[in-house]
Amino acid sequence: MPESPQDLLVQRIRETLQTQRSVREKRMFGGVAFMVDGGLAVSAGQDGDLLVRVDPAEYEDLLAKGGQPAFMGSGRPMGQGWLNVPAVEVDDDKALAWWIAVGLTSERT
């Protein structure tokens, strides 16, 4: 049985985060969230999209780099602390690592 886009992204996130000391995975709201040092940094969506915690001060700049406003449920915006990154924007491992680094930096602020 072929792996889902979410399963493939989860594996890639695991590989990217393998050098972090405290990583925990938790299924939340249909996604697989990655908690690093106790804070949620990123989450793999069912369609292979990446939910990323961001610094609200960098929100507009990150929209220009491929992020999209994140929504919870049916059209409820999550605010400027979160972005959704479409699967096509994280197809490349370097791009995925860059977005994960954004989430890690924002999680620690």
What CATH number corresponds to the domain at position 62? 3.90.1150.30
Q: What is the pLDDT of residues 76-106, one digit of tens each?
A: 999 999 999 999 999 999 999 999 999 999 8
Phi and psi, residue 23, nearest 5°:
-120, 130
Give which of 87, 82, 2, 80 is closest to 39, Cα–Cα. Answer: 82
Rounded to two decimals, the pTM is 0.93
Range of the domain at 83: 5-107
Give which of 26, 27, 5, 31 is closest to 84, Cα–Cα. Answer: 31
Total number of domains constituting the chain: 1
Q: What is the pLDDT of residues 26-82, one digit of tens each?
A: 998 789 999 999 899 999 999 999 999 999 999 999 999 999 999 987 789 999 999
Give which of 71, 66, 74 is closest to 82, Cα–Cα. Answer: 71
